[in-house]
Structure 1
Amino acid sequence: MRTRSTATFPPAAVPTRAATRTRLAAAASVVGIRQVNGLLPNNRIGIEAGRALIAAIMAAGGPTPAGTAVTPVRSGGVRGEWVRAAGVRHGDRAIYYLHGSGYVVCSAKTHRGLAARLSKATGLPVFVVDYRLAPEHPFPAAADDAAAGYRWLLEHGYRASDLVIGGDSAGCHLTLDLLLQNAIAGTEQPAGAFMFSPLLDPTLTLAERRDRVLPDPMAPARTGRRLIELYTAAEPADSPRLRLTIPAGTALPPLFVQASAGEMLADDARQLRDMAATAGVACELELWPGRIHVFQALPLLVPEAGPALRRAAGFVTSALAQSDSTRRKRVG
């Protein structure tokens, strides 16, 4: 199902039924990965086991394509890596990517395969920031690192209008926070932002309601909440940096959101779309059939990953073209 507030590029048909392989992957995950994640203790051993498990899933379901070029970045407090698909060169434009993790697991390396496929689909280099993880680094470490990565790109020759930000899960929360902080500070916004399976409510209240009706294949909502609380720590749940809202008239770039219709964060995606529409921000939401969280990262398990990623690439191309057009009109 595809819903929208303001069109940003030509629509495409979204399948109404998940592929057999997608349904089988979800069913197997409910009795496998979900159960394991639900049993992991919320201590150092459990966290390390969870990190290893998710890394293995990402590597198996979405390996890095052959020929991918990876360039590590260590610059002041900024850590990350440039990822370029075979044949893609550095230029004036780029994607800035904020990986998901529940703020506790994953890294630039776990998302290298997804970044490489984004690079191939868009023809652009992708910079994936390696923000600090909890519990070693609680709030606002990840948000500070996300902002530092964006400033680093601007300081190294990229115009904001030549950048598109992307993220998945908790990385979407970081993306929206960055955009809102840009608006407050008067920092120039990127040309657009795309989000896969966005986390909007760190308390996972909406997610828990859905999880009770239809168990999420990846993990119980309570497990996700425990992870996020390692990051939010002593910060109040209603903190404006955690409970993100888009005030009316906020100058944000166009947003593009995808989620699985049956996943735990589907209602977060809907709420983000509705909040953006109320604030007058262009936001397109695509709900793809299935139940796999961030399915775009797992093309070997979920056949819909490829078409969905091409849709995201189409948004990137369109957002940059619109940004170009706007800049030419200002100059003219």
Structure 2
Amino acid sequence: MATFPPAAVPTRAAARTRFAAAASVLGLRQVNGLLPNNRFGIEAGRGLIASVMALGGPTLPGTAVMPVRSGAVRGEWVRAAGVRHGDRAIYYLHGSGYVVCSARTHRGLASRLSKATGLPVFVSDYRLAPEHPFPAAAQDAAAGYRWLLERGYRASDLVIGGDSAGCHLTLDLLLQNAIAGIEQPAGAFMFSPLLDPTLTLAERRDRVLPDPMAPAWVGRRLIELYTAAEPADSPRLRLRIPAGTPLPPLFVQASVGEMLADDARQLRDMAVAAGVSCELELWPGRIHVFQALPLLVPEASAALRRTAHFVTSTLAHAQSPVREQVS
């Protein structure tokens, strides 16, 4: 559990990280670009990413996993060895382009977050497109947060986390909380955040430096399966933070060379302009959501330690009283 400020962000990527990016440009990127936009291609893509996540960031030994099926809420509690349920937790919204991943694919990342923070992690298994288009995922993200509050957690005892499209869901949830007057969590952390679902900034960057994961147009094609007939300028898709919006502190990490690096910068700039505390860390390398792939990207462990420091210090600052254990 992080109890002191971790080491600074490195200025140069490790040799293994650079090799992984170069190999992915020649391998994973090409395969993703060839998959057809039909049922076969979607299932193949889901299987491919699940394999990459399992190989690059397997679940830690001794991890306890408890499935949750409660009304509209689907997901799983993930606890690293020795971690118990208490009065504080992380609520995690996985990425996927709204189409590909699941709570299961992110179990390894959740187990590492649990170990680093000493907290249980509830990973939402929100509905995916194309089977469930907008606003299904956003509705499920909100339902999971309300479920945690109904289970006895105070908002100030929760930190929300997400990666990629899960960050878009996270920001949408926070904005909807502000509109509805629902108490906000103590903080939120985001890995490689998707801010613009049209991927305009991402495509511009991808033309200059090919992203190792997939071409930008592939990501847009996936996202469009979710956004469906919803207008691109919908306020639930083109997210904006009005000045003075009561949002909790944000902590953002991305690889400096990935195609969503400019989304991360734009999110930071928008938050700061609105008066919201937002710390942005741009890590050397090009791997999208590198925190989930410690066997490929050595920097992942250090990045998670810095995230854990944000989580624990944010919760400590909230100064929630000790209460009866939540199970």
> In the alignment, does 2:307 pair up with 1:315?
no
**1:25 alignment partner, one of 20, 29, 32:** 20
Unaligned runs of 5+ residues in structure 1 are 1-8
Rounded Cα–Cα distance in structure 2 between residues aligned with 1:193 and 1:12: 21
Q: Does 1:132 align with 2:127?
A: yes
**Counterpart of 1:115?**
110
Aligned to 1:288: 283
1:248 aligns with 2:230: no
Output the CA distance in 1 between the equivalents of 2:206 and 2:108: 28
Q: 1:66 and 2:42 equivalent? A: no
How many pairs align?
319
Amino acid at match of 1:130: D
C-alpha separation in 1, matches of 2:6 and 2:75? 33
Q: Which letter maps to 2:218?
A: T
Instruction: Tell me the secondary structure at the aligned position of residue 109 of structure 1.
Output: coil
Q: Deviations over 1:77-124 (max 9, x none)?
A: 100000000000000000000000000000000000000000000000
Contact 2:158 2:186 in 1 (8 A): yes
Partner residue of 1:3?
none
Among 175, 187, 192, the alignment partner of 1:180 is: 175
- TM-score (norm. length: structure 1): 0.95
Provide the C-alpha distance between the structure 2 equivalents of 1:324 and 1:279, rounded to a whole number of angstroms: 25
Q: Which residue of 2 aligns with 1:5?
A: none
Q: Is structure 2 residue 250 aligned with structure 1 residue 228?
A: no
* Residue correspondence of structure 1 range 1-332 to structure 2 within 5 A: 12-324=7-319
What CA deviation, in whole Å up to 9, does each residue of 1:266-290 have, x standing for no partner?
0000000000000000000000000
1:5-48 Cα deviation digits (max 9, x unpaired) = xxxx9585211110000000000000000000001011000000
Gaps of 5+ in 2: 323-327
Q: C-alpha offsets along residues 121-170 of structure 1, whole Å, 9 cap, x if unaligned?
A: 00000000000000000000000000000000000010000000000000
Q: Distance in 2 between matches of 1:173 and 1:10?
A: 28
Alpha-carbon distance in structure 1 between the residues aligned to 2:62 and 2:266:
39
Distance 2:127 2:83 in 1: 28
Q: Deviations over 1:265-321 (max 9, x none)?
A: 000000000000000000000000000000000000000000000000000001101
- Kept in 1, the 8 Å contact 2:6–2:305? The answer is no
* Secondary structure at the counterpart of residue 258 of structure 1: strand
Which whole-Å deviations, capped at 9, do the CAs of 1:163-185 have from their partners, x for residues lacking one? 00000000000000000000000
SS at match of 2:319: helix
Provide the rounded CA distance (Å) in 2 between the counterparts of 1:213 and 1:134: 30
Q: Specify the SS of the correspondent of 1:194.
A: strand
Cα distance in 1 for residues equivalent to 2:274 and 2:33 = 37
Q: What residue identity is the alignment partner of 1:277?
A: V
TM-score, with length taken from structure 2: 0.96
- Specify the code of the residue in structure 1 equivalent to 2:238: R
Deviation, 1:196, is: 0.2
Look up the SS of the partner of 2:103 in the other structure.
Answer: coil
Identity among equivalent pairs (%)? 88
1:158 is matched by which residue type in structure 2?
Y
- Cα deviations across residues 171-213 of structure 1 (Å, max 9, x unaligned)? 0000000000000000000000000000000000000000000
